[in-house]
Amino acid sequence: RQFTWVSAGLSSPEASFTLARSTAARDWEAEYARIEMTNASQVDIQTGNPKWDLAFALGQKTALNLIHGPTEFLPHPSWVQTRLPDQGFSLRSDGSEYGHLWDGQTPLDTWHLCGLLLPAYPNIAQDLIRNFLSTQNNEGHVDWKPGLNGRRTGILATPILSTLAWKIYQANEDLPFLDEVFPALLKFYNHWFDPRYDGDGDGVPEWSHPVQTGFEDNPLFAYWQPWSQGADISLFESPSLIAMLLRDGQSLLKMSRVLERLGAVHDLNQRIEKLTIALSRTWNEKSGSYRYLDRETHASTDGNTIGRRTGPGMVQLSQTQFDDPVRLLVRVYPTGEGARDVQVHISGKNGDGNQETEMFTPENFRWSLGIGTGISKNVFTVLDDIRVENISPDDKVVIHSVDFGFHDQTLLTPLWVGTPTPEQAEKIIKKHIMRPNRYWRGYGIPACLNPESRAAETVEIFQTVWTPWNALIGEGLVQFEYHDLAAELVSRLMDAIGSNLQETGSFRKHFNSVTGKGIGEKNALSGLPPLHLFLNILGVNLHSPWKVGLKGKNPFPWPVKIRFRGLVIDRDLEVTLVTFPDGQTVKVNNPTPCIVTGRP
């Protein structure tokens, strides 16, 4: 016997009963048909590993479940980071009390989500771009995290939106969409070069806040974490920002040519040329990697502890002269609760060799979790003395020189853009990515390298895998023709994702790069499998049921079958068979990039 039951919870029993009754009376055959049509739009993948197949299928389903809205505050559907049974209800009815998992869409996670939505749901991906642009003001500022609840951060969005818009266009070739968003994207891109984001005025912007990078818990900048160095990211020239601006500029150039809007080409070329030079300046031949630079000196020095003191008074300095100018970081560890009205007086010589005196006032310190962090506005080649005032006798003060040599996953971004020379790319890959004592771990690339001096409690953050960043780095490996290495990276990621899915029945926001154990929220967007990277490595670019791009060979150890709205692709190790919805077949055995089309 079959029966129907419905649970509804509205503001009153009467309204709930009415909704439940009308829902039970719906034509369920039609509902089933609609669900089947929705599922048919997804990309069905069969590999030689059933765990992968399940993860890719559930990953696409979960991605759709995360779509929410629109609301009065955002004109188009957006997404939430997780969507669990105990989430979503708003006591205030407007979502104003939502936490960080529900209070807005961020650029890098949107980029990762669209890798699961495309090519099946390009309209949703387009609407996510429109949401960002709906926050644009007259100057071109686009908010980093516009929320369904009306939340706005006031922080400038990560410059990856033009790259994403171009990615969407490549999937569906919707020229009117490109024509619609191009002017706003160009205005947003140009706004990044406003003097307020360029502290030294050299034409190369700096990040304003760590969250813009998509790696907010970076131990170099996350001043709200006790294990972080707590440096001010706006005082750094970051290879990741320069690389993303380069990639976005290149995407805008492609748009302008497709749209035949050539008026922007000259200025874009000039910016791209300047950014290319700036990125090359961050390359360090000795380390074989890109490094952070000081905003003022454009030097990249390693950090050291140069003085400690308990209580007020003069700090005993272990080093007073420096070959390269250093920027000073002051951390205050109070014995009791509450911030201190601490003052620090620094006397020495600046980068030009002139006498310099700087005073840290209480306003110069940022306090989080009981720790105060201040960073000098000036750089010093000689330190005469450092004096600390207005702290308790048991409060501890530590003086560091800022560490620009710290290595994290964002420094691999230039690979994704394709800007390193082949020799530089080889050094990055062989000296850093492929070494087990660096980034090459059993379950993916960790967020950053763990210096031996770090305390044991910091190990987790250094071993954590951020899937969107791994996907971005993997695309960089493909750009430089390291297909087998990229395939191995995906295999390690999918092994962890598949194991967590099997053991807990859910995706996890992060996982440990050594053990594969899940970390963080369940079924979080950031932890969904990198479908787009897998297809990219496989050499398959789905445009429609009647058009598919193929390149290279299948680098995985087994054949892969892909179904998409009646299109079937059998990708063997050497030969690919494409079967169109009407039964037409095309066999491809040449690795040269090609477009295969049917006759709709």
**How many domains, in total, are found in the chain?**
6
Residues 555 and 526 in one domain: no
Same domain, residue pair 513 and 378? no
pLDDT tens figures, 218-241: 888 987 777 778 899 999 999 999
| DSSP per-residue string spanning 320-344 | -EEEEEEEEEEEEE-SSSS----EE
Query: Is residue 264 domain-shared with residue 351, that is, in the same domain?
Result: no
Q: How far apart are CA 513 and CA 439, in angstroms?
A: 9
Across residues 358-370, what is the average pLDDT?
A: 90
Cis peptide before 70 (omega within 30 of 0): yes
Same domain, 67 and 214: no
CA gap 550, 239 in Å, rounded: 32
- Single residue among 518, 533, 548 that ends a domain in this structure: 533
In the predicted model, is pLDDT for residue 434 greater than 60? yes
**Same domain membership, residue 178 and residue 66:** yes
111-165 pLDDT, tens digit per residue, is 999 999 999 999 999 999 999 999 999 999 999 999 998 999 999 999 999 999 9
Listed in order, strand segments (DSSP E) in 276-434 are 283-284, 289-290, 293-294, 304-310, 313-314, 316-317, 321-333, 343-349, 355-360, 366-368, 371-389, 396-401
The pLDDT score that the predictor gives to residue 214 is 95
Same domain for 414 and 277 = yes
Claim to verify: residue 413 and residue 311 sit in the same structural domain? no
**Residue 413 and residue 264 share a domain:** yes
Q: Check whether residue 288 and residue 311 sit in a common domain.
A: no
At residue 41, does pLDDT exceed 60?
Answer: yes
Q: Token pair of 97, please?
A: 């009390």
In sequence order, the 6+-apart residues with CB closer than 8 A to the CB of 73 are 146, 147, 148, 149, 150, 151
Cβ-based neighbour number of residue 16 at 10 Å: 15
Specify whether the CB–CB gap between 187 and 252 falls below 8 A.
no
Residue-number span of the structural domain to which 385 is assigned: 304-401
pLDDT in tens, 437-494: 899 999 999 999 875 545 545 567 788 999 999 999 999 999 999 999 999 999 999 9
Say whether pLDDT at 259 is over 60.
yes
- Which residue spans within 216-297 are E strands per DSSP? 236-237, 283-284, 289-290, 293-294
Query: Does residue 99 surpass a pLDDT of 90?
Result: no
Residue 318 near residue 368, CB atoms below 8 Å: no
Q: What is the pLDDT of residue 451?
A: 59
pLDDT digits (tens, 9 = 90+) for 282-303: 999 999 999 999 999 999 998 8
pLDDT digit string, tens, across residues 291-344: 999 999 999 998 899 999 999 999 999 988 999 999 999 999 999 888 899 999
Identify the CA nearest to 471 among candidates 529, 530, 419, 414: 530
- CATH number where 357 lies: 2.60.120
Q: Whole-angstrom Cα distance, residue 79 to residue 67? A: 4
Query: What Rg value do the Cα atoms of the chain yield, rounded?
Result: 26
CA 232 to chain centroid = 19
Are residues 446 and 437 in contact, defined by beta-carbon separation less than 8 angstroms?
Answer: no
Q: What angle do CA 363, 368, 371 make, to 5 degrees?
A: 85
The pair phi, psi for residue 153, each rounded to 5°, is -90, -25
Closest CA relative to residue 289, chosen from 403, 414, 402: 414
In this structure, are 411 and 271 located in the same domain? yes
Identify the weakest region by mean pLDDT among 25-34, 49-58, 171-180. 25-34
The rounded mean pLDDT for the chain is 93
**Domain identity same for 111 and 184:** yes
| Residue 242 reports pLDDT greater than 80 | yes
Residue that is last in its domain, among 361, 388, 420: 420
Q: Residue 433 has what DSSP assignment?
A: I
- What is the pLDDT at residue 4? 83
Across the range 83-110, mean pLDDT stands at 83
Q: Considering only 91-95, 348-352, 444-448, which range has the smallest mean pLDDT?
A: 91-95
| N-terminal to C-terminal alpha carbon distance within the chain | 44
Alpha carbon distance 525, 233 (integer Å) = 26
Where residue 427 falls among pLDDT bands split at 50, 70, 90?
A: very high
Among 539, 455, 526, 451, residue whose Cα is nearest residue 493 = 526
Instruction: Note the helical H segments in 282-334.
Output: none
- Identify the band that residue 38 occupies on the pLDDT scale cut at 50, 70 and 90: low
Q: Which tokens go with 265?
A: 């080409």
Same domain? For 395 and 475 the reply is no
Domain boundary among 401, 433, 459: 401
